[in-house]
Structure 1
């Protein structure tokens, strides 16, 4: 059963207290790679794990687009009113990037040791139902009057309201919890090991039947899946090559309805392979089969109606196109600053031998353009904010400098925080290329060496320009007599803009075809 949801991919990271630098680096990597979600488990009683909600808040401040979710929150140790308030606050801070996974509780000895209740299975589900009612009521912003057996919130005036309607996830396996999921949840999130692929169709069918009985459409519940595996030559589910993974996950989408895949891994190489090779390939396979099904009348014979092939994804092999349709972003030569970061006329070029490219190969090339487009959009936002700050300064006039007003100080600190976040994303992207992708392309396409050396040297220059911009931002905020002016700040941003846009266009001209041919490594 394919519910038609868009595909999503995420990372399920371990909040190990002794490896917090690794955790935060992997979260930023997930954002740079274009993954949709970063999830953390929640075991407040575990001495070796740091606090889930504190970490999600830090990750939210350091990332730009990735959504954040407990997977799942330990409800017996997180009262629903406080949980609703924390989720709503983080959702507003991050611009609507929070989702909330809830768990009834499992490790009861640990929960009791931490001051929580010990509940029977029935009590745990009853408490979950009460909690969801309180959480949704809190987010609606109306005064609460819930007096339950396990939780109460009578006369509470809730706030803040979240920036969006936060989706609620539930992990469920047994009949009653499946019915609760069908009735109250937005996302069902089982895990491999508890529900392996052969079990998913029956569990989905139970949710579908319960959803219809509750007056909901089955597709109103998104089907997510916590997955675990390894890349290599072994056989088995999620134990082979990226292409093997892609075919197996596409099959789960088309035959079992799963569309959000969250990889449990703290290995940055595995996360990169998952984001850059598996995810694009799954999308290609699923899109192709969905298009084929849409074009095939239900009564027509063929593979989709053949009982021998029901429940499996047909092998989708798109013939290579005579030329690649993914094109580099044009560079019209427009420059904003008189200063030049480098001489562009001496850049080496590499002529990739002509060949055809499959849809999967083109998806790899398109991913580089997509990442670059995100960086271009972020740069445009930084420029827009700088212009707003400059306009605010010019409007103050008089003897007092606009920078010395509280409004301008706040604007500048906000700008500094935004630019710092953008610089981290950009630096993360370049680090990923320098440490992983470039060595792979050097081995696969030796003639590309001079181009890669030039790209690496330009990364160093861009890093220096980012440092210069950051220094200008700090100088503007300090506002002493020797500090850079807002016009000088804008000038630094112009130099960075010229360099970055030129660099991204050059990189696409030189690397789209090699990446399509050889992948990200």
Structure 2
């Protein structure tokens, strides 16, 4: 299978924030904004002890920052009714001037979900619920009247949806299995994968699967953004494997992920005290190196046969 044409839009970099109430959450968010990062993802783990509510934390972050975009990465769908979630996300987007995106997950940690009143679903049912949730959310954000969806997991009936968000919000799916990636290719605006569950070899296979599913659905695969959660550590003592090493290793590996794998969005999920090094040293170097390598590839492709590239 030939890989689809990859998106070559600007790279986006951000941070994935664990909502630990003991951590300096607001200060970290303000640092990310001040450092020029593009995105702040809030992990949604309502069943964990001493964690902040993700939508409430997102609203607080939007109130004390000026430019960074915020999203749940990803919302725990079994505990977030999609119509209510759609209204919350659209409200934050309107009040912030269009600085909100949406990440959705089918559900994990089912013991915790059940403890908080959610239902346990099998893999196929969870994927179907996720697909229905995307439909409900998009209906809610539309300007249509007489909205109705009677699915296997969600029912949504209203005379009129809304409020509409301030901009066209992208819906990212945080999925890792083959059929979940197929779903992302059919219906999502972006795919968000964690490095611990989708290392580079699996990432390459997932990209091909995403492309194929999008093409089969009549979509341009290049329109789907590719996000990667960087679960590693910046360690000046030496390399200890993928995403565990000094800054120069991170620059090399992120450049390869962008140029070789088509990843266009990176969320740093390492130690908050290393956020400045990531944002102010690694990110600019990766942007520069990716620009050089892409320019070199274009020059080589444009050279006539037999002409030095």
- TM-score where L is the length of structure 2: 0.93
- For residue 259 of structure 1, report the CA deviation from its aligned partner: 1.4
Partner of 2:58: 56
- Mapped to 2, the partners of 1:166 and 1:53 lie a distance apart of 15
- Mapped to 1, the partners of 2:89 and 2:191 lie a distance apart of 19
- For residue 8 of structure 1, report the CA deviation from its aligned partner: 0.8
Partner of 2:261: 256
Structure 1: state its 5+ residue gaps.
305-521
On the 8 A contact 2:233/2:270 being kept in 1, the answer is: no
Partner of 1:330: none
Partner of 2:113: 111
Q: 1:227 to 1:114 in 2, by over 3 A?
A: same
- For residue 300 of structure 1, report the CA deviation from its aligned partner: 4.7
- 1:206-236 superposed Cα distances (whole Å, 9 cap, x missing partner): 1111111111111111111000222213213
Q: 1:251 to 1:46 in 2, by over 3 A?
A: same
Over the residues paired in the alignment, what is the CA RMSD in angstroms?
1.7
- Mapped to 1, the partners of 2:35 and 2:308 lie a distance apart of 35
3-state secondary structure, aligned to 1:149:
coil
Partner of 1:192: 195
- 1:71-129 superposed Cα distances (whole Å, 9 cap, x missing partner): 10011111011000000000001110101000111111111111111111111111111
Partner of 1:132: 134
- Mapped to 2, the partners of 1:115 and 1:44 lie a distance apart of 11
3-state secondary structure, aligned to 2:194:
coil
- Mapped to 2, the partners of 1:303 and 1:204 lie a distance apart of 32
Partner of 1:180: 183
On the 8 A contact 1:14/1:266 being kept in 2, the answer is: no
- Mapped to 2, the partners of 1:264 and 1:74 lie a distance apart of 18
3-state secondary structure, aligned to 2:22:
helix
- For residue 147 of structure 1, report the CA deviation from its aligned partner: 1.2
On the 8 A contact 2:226/2:264 being kept in 1, the answer is: yes
Greater RCO, CA 8 A, separation 6+:
2
- 1:48-76 superposed Cα distances (whole Å, 9 cap, x missing partner): 21101100000000000000010100111
Partner of 1:274: 278
Higher strand share: 2
- For residue 266 of structure 1, report the CA deviation from its aligned partner: 4.2
Partner of 1:28: 30
Is 1:67 the equivalent of 2:40?
no
Q: 1:227 to 1:302 in 2, by over 3 A?
A: farther
- Mapped to 2, the partners of 1:169 and 1:302 lie a distance apart of 43
Alignment coverage as a number of residue pairs:
301
- For residue 154 of structure 1, report the CA deviation from its aligned partner: 1.5
3-state secondary structure, aligned to 1:96:
coil
Partner of 2:165: 162
Partner of 1:37: 39
Q: 1:302 to 1:34 in 2, by over 3 A?
A: farther
- Mapped to 1, the partners of 2:81 and 2:253 lie a distance apart of 39
Higher helix share: 1
- Mapped to 1, the partners of 2:308 and 2:53 lie a distance apart of 50
- For residue 301 of structure 1, report the CA deviation from its aligned partner: 7.3
- Mapped to 2, the partners of 1:137 and 1:182 lie a distance apart of 19
Partner of 2:288: 284
- For residue 275 of structure 1, report the CA deviation from its aligned partner: 0.7
On the 8 A contact 1:182/1:221 being kept in 2, the answer is: yes
- For residue 302 of structure 1, report the CA deviation from its aligned partner: 10
- Mapped to 2, the partners of 1:302 and 1:201 lie a distance apart of 32
- For residue 137 of structure 1, report the CA deviation from its aligned partner: 0.8
- Mapped to 1, the partners of 2:263 and 2:224 lie a distance apart of 11
3-state secondary structure, aligned to 1:48:
coil
- TM-score where L is the length of structure 1: 0.56
Partner of 2:96: 94
- For residue 148 of structure 1, report the CA deviation from its aligned partner: 1.2
Q: 1:303 to 1:115 in 2, by over 3 A?
A: farther
Match 1:226 to one of 218, 229, 233: 229
On the 8 A contact 1:13/1:266 being kept in 2, the answer is: no
3-state secondary structure, aligned to 2:172:
strand
- Mapped to 2, the partners of 1:266 and 1:243 lie a distance apart of 17
Structure 2: state its 5+ residue gaps.
none
- Mapped to 2, the partners of 1:259 and 1:153 lie a distance apart of 34
On the 8 A contact 1:102/1:168 being kept in 2, the answer is: yes
Q: 1:303 to 1:28 in 2, by over 3 A?
A: farther
Q: 1:161 to 1:303 in 2, by over 3 A?
A: farther
Instruction: Please list, as runs of the form range in 1=range in 2, the aligned pairs for 1:312-351 lying within 5 A after superposition.
Output: none
Match 2:242 to one of 232, 237, 253: 237
- For residue 297 of structure 1, report the CA deviation from its aligned partner: 2.7
Instruction: Please list, as runs of the form range in 1=range in 2, the aligned pairs for 1:422-433 lying within 5 A after superposition.
Output: none
On the 8 A contact 2:251/2:286 being kept in 1, the answer is: yes
